[in-house]
A and B are shown apart, each in its own frame.
Chain A
Amino acid sequence: MDITRRRLLVLLPAAAVAWKYVLAGTPEASPNYKLTEHWWSMLIDIPKCIGCGSCVRACAEENDVPDGFYRTWIERYHVADWKIERPDVESPNGGKQGFPPNEIGGKNFFVPKLCNHCADSPCTQVCPVGATFVTPDGVVLVDKTYCLGCRYCVQACPYGCRFINPKTNTAEKCSLCYHRIRKGLTTACCEVCPTGARQLADLKDPKDPIHEFLRTHNVQVLKPHMATGAKVFYNGMDGSVR
């Protein structure tokens, strides 16, 4: 076939459109990813959380989480006046379908919870065989082909973020959507959060906005007295949060 100018005028735009469709597909894992160049964490902005449950649903769909178990969940707090040591907390089905409306006074807010991907993770410390571990890029993962299902890690986690998947009989928990972040995407929960209350952050990336945020805001981690090196940072967290 001769490549005439006419044919080219038709073919090139067609090729450009086709290329767009090719690009629109999901990305592959980036080949240049170096484990030691990343140190993953998450930032949760409590005043922004509206308790819609999108993150819980998205996580369940992205990671095939069975019903009744939660890789992430939302808690609703009600603090009456000065009683910060005794808040009322609820988490109906982990907040998966949102929360039923209520008309109570006092201080109320939502707290999303997930695995804190601890730098000094107690679950990793107690695993008898090395089935759960901290990757060089800071994500705590479970090797489900190696896990015995002894449940020691579930006992050792101070945050209650681990469970045993009844289908695989192995330990399971939030993986920070490792399969997504390796492909340059963000986690499923951060992707769908409508208010930006959840943000993935790479602490080793000097351009990551988390550094400026941490410098200018008062942030906390959950249960700092456990010295777990938790890497999920909570902005605007009340003292009543357990």
Chain B
Amino acid sequence: MARETNLFKDIEHLIRLAVVILVLLAIFLVLRVAVVPPSFGEYGHYRGAAIGEAAARPVAFAGHDACEVCHTDVVEQKKQGKHVVVACEACHGALAKHADDPASVTPAKLDTAVVCARCHEANSAKPKGFPQVVTADHSGGIACDTCHQPHRPKIETTPSETKKAESKTRTEGKN
């Protein structure tokens, strides 16, 4: 009997330590329940609500469908030329704010020297069939929209002049 009491006394320090550890563990478990976000684990090892939050962000580009609802005249123009595949905002920039409230935001006038050159300035890495010019030789520095209407870029002249213009553009694109 005396030996057993002694045993308890002899391991008392270990028992005290064990109790402290268990208390800390309990605190941790409570913390876990309290602090971990409720949607965590909904779809996988992440906060499920993050998906909805990512989806709810406002957009900056309206998308060409939104422009075409109002600007039908431009749509008709574009349909007649190669730029039909180019989205409005590719040149005009992000205009969701304008689409939401047209009066509040007026899109800025574009500088064709910059905007057109980005696609059409000649570069050895651009696909050979893509219309590209060395603008210094092609236009001598004048603005592109002096001759080209950006929504329907091909210059309408007589059939033979059109043919000559087309072949000129093609050779200028070759390196």
Contacts and interface: CB of A to CB of B under 8 A. Distances in A.
B127 interface: yes
A180 B58 CA distance: 8
B99 A192 contact: no
A140 to B, nearest CB: 11
A192 B61 contact: yes
B59 A180 contact: yes
Interface string A172-194: 00010011101101101001111
B61 A58 contact: yes
- Categorize the interface residue count of chain B: 35 or more
A23 B85 contact: no
A61 B47 contact: no
Interface in B80-139: 85-87, 89-90, 93-94, 96, 99-102, 117-119, 121-127, 130, 132, 134
Interface in A139-196: 141, 143, 145-146, 175, 178-180, 182-183, 185-186, 188, 191-196
Interface stretch (B8-16, B18-26, B63-71, B162-170): B63-71
Given A35-B51, A186-B63, A98 B121 contact: yes
B60 interface: yes
A109 interface: yes
Given A29-B55, A99-B123, A141-B51, A21 B70 contact: yes
Contact of B123 (A101, A141, A196): A101
Greatest chain B CB density within 10 A among A23, A29, A101, A145 is at A101
Contacts, number: 158
Q: Is the interface of A mostly helix, strand, loop or mixed?
A: loop
Contacts of A98: 117-118, 121
Contacts of B87: 191-194
Given A48-B127, A141-B54, 13 more contacts: A25-B101, A54-B118, A54-B119, A97-B118, A133-B44, A145-B53, A146-B37, A178-B57, A185-B63, A186-B63, A192-B87, A194-B119, A195-B85
Interface of B: 37, 40, 43-47, 50-51, 53-64, 66, 69-70, 85-87, 89-90, 93-94, 96, 99-102, 117-119, 121-127, 130, 132, 134, 175
